Amino acid sequence: MAPINLFEYEALAQQHMAPVTWDYFQGGSDDEVTLRNNRNAFESIRLRPRMLIDVSDVQMQTNVVGVPVNMPILVAPMSAHMLVHPEGELATARGTGQAGTILTVSTFSTYTIEEIAAAATGPLWLQLYLTRTMEATGSLVRRAEDAGYRAIVLTVDTPRTSRRERDVRNNFLIAKAARSANFVEAPGSDPVTIQQSRHITGTWETLDWLRSLTKLPILLKGILTAEDTLLAMEHDIQGIIVSNHGGRQLDGAIESIVALPEVVEAVAGRCEVYMDGGIRRGTDVLKALALGARAVLVGRPVIWGLAVNGSEGVRSVLELLRAELEMTMMLAGQPALASIDRSLVKLL
């Protein structure tokens, strides 16, 4: 029997992945407190359903920074998809497009951004790290624009990669395990040196530099506070993704769903707000929408689908979430995304 929810995909995916690869994708930093709490935080939010409302035709279509999608569920950036399937990001792009939504392609994809664009059946965003040199970073931005990507998602919570103890224990280096297709390494390059050079530190002024390179919408991924939101509003950005990197960076950081309301309040309608971290059910999506997110992004579940059944597994994972969201909206008396607001939830 095919999986009927994301947790069943998770169990199957573990059977399809090498243990060290499983740990790389599943793990978080240090004690994995934030990793666990991202999921658990949804349990402290209760829904306040409305009754006797016509929900015979639930509408879930929306647009994100001007791009139409079939549902408010997007695919978060993750590196090295070839570790779980030989077609890697090519299969992920096909499956995501078939589900009618957006794939955010990682800077550290295992196929080039041009190869992924050629295989894609839907729109793409590029997730951007400030990496190696500013020249290399700028070149990647220009390549993405030329390849038809629709937005740049700058990840801001990774001045350095955190200590992920599962990877330490497994002696796992992503730079050694998987190629970084968007960068050509010198023959014989040391994987440790490559890994250490993957991230460079940016500042708020870096946003002005990035804006000078491209006319594409710019979203910031990794904002968790009202203070940083207000600083972001001083620059020409089109969106904020509330995220703690899936619990993979600062351990003990606030859960994304908990941080979401203060970011939404600080934005005050001046740009679009999204969130990722812990989304596993349609009810999770609905809670995030009620707290002000325009859409959510999912990461690990897409990797599970890819590991189990390639592009079809990716499509299936996204369609399962979409179907759950539709049912949840019906049961909560919400016939359209526009009807969802803060009154639908109660925080414990």
pLDDT digits (tens, 9 = 90+) for 234-284: 999 999 999 999 999 999 999 999 999 999 999 999 999 999 999 999 999
Q: What is the mean pLDDT of residues 1-26?
A: 97
- Answer whether residue 115 shows pLDDT above 90: yes
What does the alpha-carbon distance between residue 156 and residue 173 come to, in Å, rounded to a whole number? Answer: 22
pLDDT at residue 330, as a whole number? 98
Active site residue 16: no
pLDDT at residue 273, as a whole number? 98
- Answer whether residue 159 shows pLDDT above 80: yes
Q: Which of 81, 85, 199, 245 is catalytic?
A: 245
Q: Give the pLDDT band (50/70/90) at residue 319.
A: very high
pLDDT at residue 192, as a whole number? 58
Least confident segment among 60-69, 141-150, 193-202:
193-202
For each of the domains in the chain, give its residue range(s) and CATH number, in order of start.
6-45+69-335 (3.20.20.70)
pLDDT digits (tens, 9 = 90+) for 165-185: 999 999 999 988 998 999 876
Burial class from Cβ neighbours inside 10 Å (0-12, 13-18, 19+) for residue 183 reads middle
What does the alpha-carbon distance between residue 296 and residue 302 come to, in Å, rounded to a whole number? Answer: 13
What integer best gives the mean pLDDT of the chain?
95
Q: What is the mean pLDDT of residues 96-119?
A: 98
Q: Give the residue with greater pLDDT, 264 vs 197.
A: 264
| pTM, full prediction | 0.96
Measuring CA to CA, which residue among 111, 110, 93 is closest to residue 102? 93
Q: Give the residue with greater pLDDT, 187 vs 242.
A: 242
pLDDT digits (tens, 9 = 90+) for 121-150: 999 999 999 886 889 899 999 999 999 999
- Answer whether residue 26 shows pLDDT above 70: yes
- Answer whether residue 188 shows pLDDT above 70: no
pLDDT at residue 200, as a whole number? 74
pLDDT at residue 219, as a whole number? 98
Q: Give the pLDDT band (50/70/90) at residue 195.
A: low
- Answer whether residue 187 shows pLDDT above 70: no
3-state SS of the chain? CCCCCHHHHHHHHHHHCCHHHHHHHHCCCCCCHHHHHHHHHHHHEEECCCCCCCCCCCECCEEECCEEECCCEEECCCCCHHHCCCCHHHHHHHHHHHCCCCEEECCCCCCCHHHHHHHCCCCEEEEECCCCCHHHHHHHHHHHHHCCCCCEEEECCCCCCCCCHHHHHHCCCHHHHCCCCCCCCCCCCCHHHHHHCCCCCCCHHHHHHHHHHCCCCEEEEEECCHHHHHHHCCCCCCEEEECCHHHCCCCCCCCHHHHHHHHHHHHCCCCEEEEECCCCCHHHHHHHHHCCCCEEEECHHHHHHHHHHHHHHHHHHHHHHHHHHHHHHHHCCCCEHHHCCHHHEEEC
